[in-house]
Amino acid sequence: MEKLKMFDLSGKVALVTGGASGLGILFGGALAEAGANVVLADIVVGTKKNDGTLSEQAALDEVSKFTDHGRVQAIKCNVTDLASVESAVESVENEFGKIDILVNSAGIFGDNKRVWEMPPENWDKVLAVDLKGTFLCCQSVAKVMIEKKAGKIINIASASSFKPLVGMAAYSAAKAGVVMLTKTLALELARYNIQANTLSPGYFITPLNKDFFDSEAGKKMISLWPPRRPGNLDELRGIIIYLASPASSYTTGTEIVIDGGQWL
């Protein structure tokens, strides 16, 4: 079936941080399926796992399954380090001549500690990756997009940005900061035809939480949600394509919550 042109990303270049795992792989695959060239940026790129394979290889293989003619590459990037971010952005620009789409999905949860128990270094680490890292990547890529007078910035936050969770003060604060950073970016970049939006997922089934949702405690939590189930990761594919595509040309500064009504 011929792609709807307003959702067609053929020829576009997407940079996805946190691209070697989790949501980064999912978003990279969705963008590749829509036709984009995808660069997966992650701090683990170039390192080897215990079996001797490169840490990014599984991600490259997974994302490549979704593309017909686009290119899929990986690049090392530490989002907390300005020099590393600038180097990665420069490499992508030199390779492709542009960056049309930025997806900031690099993030960590940190230790589950109540505020009075939380070591300051845990707070600093979470804020460095989740908020500062998003800021540095937006800052560097925005300069490239401003020159082209076009671009899409999609920052991944969380339902935790508006729903506090016990033991997750650093994570919630960082994600709430991402939401307001994105709104400010949208305001500042609108005149350059650059849209910036936040995607805030609720609870989705992942390899990390599947056992919990299969437990009695997990089932009890699920029973309180209107849909009576967590989300499936594939249910995030459509929204990331929309936000990256021409279809969202008048959508900016918005936080889109995908949670099946979990927090209604």
162/158 Cα distance (integer angstroms)? 8
What does the alpha-carbon distance between residue 234 and residue 26 come to, in Å, rounded to a whole number?
8
Which residue in the list 171, 203, 242, 250 is annotated as catalytic? 171
Residue 95: other Cβ atoms inside 10 A:
14
203 given a catalytic annotation = no
Dihedral (CA of 159, 164, 170, 176) sign: positive
> What is d(CA 167, CA 115) in angstroms, rounded to the nearest whole number?
7
**In this structure, what token pair is assigned to residue 192?**
């350059």
Burial of 128 (0-12, 13-18, 19+ CB in 10 A): middle
Maximum C-alpha span of the chain: 56
DSSP character for 77?
Answer: -
- Cα–Cα dist 74/56, whole Å: 7
Strands 37-42 and 194-201: unpaired
Q: Which residues are catalytic?
A: 171
